């Protein structure tokens, strides 16, 4: 592929902000699930479990099927290594790629600069504080400020390093949106339907509450993939979102 045209050719750009997390143990399970999904109804995310099992071949298949793909490998390494990894993500034609904001300004800037050469580069975002963490978890690793304060600090650094947005919990969206600007994208996992179990997530919110707070994209895994009827659950979430958007 021409590295200057890292284009997700033919990708649909769904109106829905939902990104379905394909946390499956192998490519066959992921493709069986995805074959029922309409690329116009959602985006998809490939994370560490599925990527470790399937490698880049699956990403190429998803892009070829018209999906906008979030490659969620949360790069966190020295600037040179992360920059080169981001280039390869761009050449795969993914829509979104992430790095850990705690890798620091020089790492994030190197990643951003590495994508400059691509006419249709992926969006590049920084992971702030994982949605599975709460204040006590941060304290154990020496961070004594609140999750909100740490997220704001890392998100500000991410914006100042030239990235397009952050991964944060929807609980921080209403803090970040006015502070960092409307164009700075907020990608929010830890989404749970009303009354549902949080699993290993700690900072959770419902889909509509997340959008009300200012989230741009909602990463949703188990509430859809482990539902008795995943397509119906996705359709219900999309309908609730459409109703909310009409009301504003």
**Binding site: residue ranges?**
23, 45, 72-81, 131, 192, 201, 221-222
Rounded to the nearest whole angstrom, what is the least distance from the CB of residue 5 to ligand OMP in the complex?
27
Tell me if residue 87 is catalytic.
Answer: no
In the complex, residue closest to ligand OMP by CB = 221
Rounded to the nearest whole angstrom, what is the least distance from the CB of residue 75 to ligand OMP in the complex?
11
Residue positions in the annotated binding site for substrate?
23, 45, 72-81, 131, 192, 201, 221-222
Q: Which residues bind ligand OMP (CB under 6 A)?
A: 21, 23, 47, 72, 74, 98, 127, 130-131, 167, 189-190, 199, 201, 219-223
Residue found by looking up tokens 């590049």 in the block: 124
* Comparison of 117 and 229: residue with beta carbon closer to ligand OMP: 229
Rounded to the nearest whole angstrom, what is the least distance from the CB of residue 246 to ligand OMP in the complex?
25
Please pick, among 61, 74, 177, 185, the residue that the annotation labels catalytic.
Answer: 74
The torsion of the CA quartet 107, 96, 239, 173, rounded to 10 degrees, works out to: 10
* Comparison of 7 and 148: residue with beta carbon closer to ligand OMP: 148
Residue numbers annotated as active site: 74
């Amino acid at each position: 592929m021409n590295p200057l045209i890292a284009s997700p050719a033919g990708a649909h750009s769904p109106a829905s902000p939902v990104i379905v997390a394909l946390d499956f143990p192998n490519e066959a399970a992921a493709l069986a699930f995805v074959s029922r999904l309409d690329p116009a109804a959602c985006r998809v995310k490939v994370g560490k479990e599925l990527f470790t099992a399937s490698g880049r071949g699956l990403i190429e298949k998803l892009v070829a099927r018209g999906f906008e793909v979030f490659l969620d490998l949360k790069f966190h390494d020295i600037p040179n290594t992360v920059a080169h990894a981001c280039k390869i993500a761009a050449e795969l034609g993914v829509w979104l790629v992430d790095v850990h904001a705690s890798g620091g300004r020089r790492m994030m800037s190197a990643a951003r600069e590495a994508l400059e050469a691509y006419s249709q580069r992926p969006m590049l975002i920084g992971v702030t504080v994982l949605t599975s963490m709460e204040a006590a978890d941060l304290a154990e690793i020496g961070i004594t400020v609140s999750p909100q304060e740490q997220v704001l600090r890392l998100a500000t650094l991410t914006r100042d390093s030239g990235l397009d947005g952050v991964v944060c919990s929807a609980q921080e969206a209403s803090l970040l949106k006015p502070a960092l600007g409307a164009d700075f994208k907020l990608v929010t996992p830890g989404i749970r339907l009303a009354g549902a179990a949080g699993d290993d997530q700690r900072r959770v919110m419902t889909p509509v509450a997340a959008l009300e707070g200012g989230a741009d994209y909602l990463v949703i895994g188990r509430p859809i993939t482990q539902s008795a009827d995943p397509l119906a659950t996705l359709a219900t979430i999309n309908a609730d979102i459409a109703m909310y958007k009409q009301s504003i």
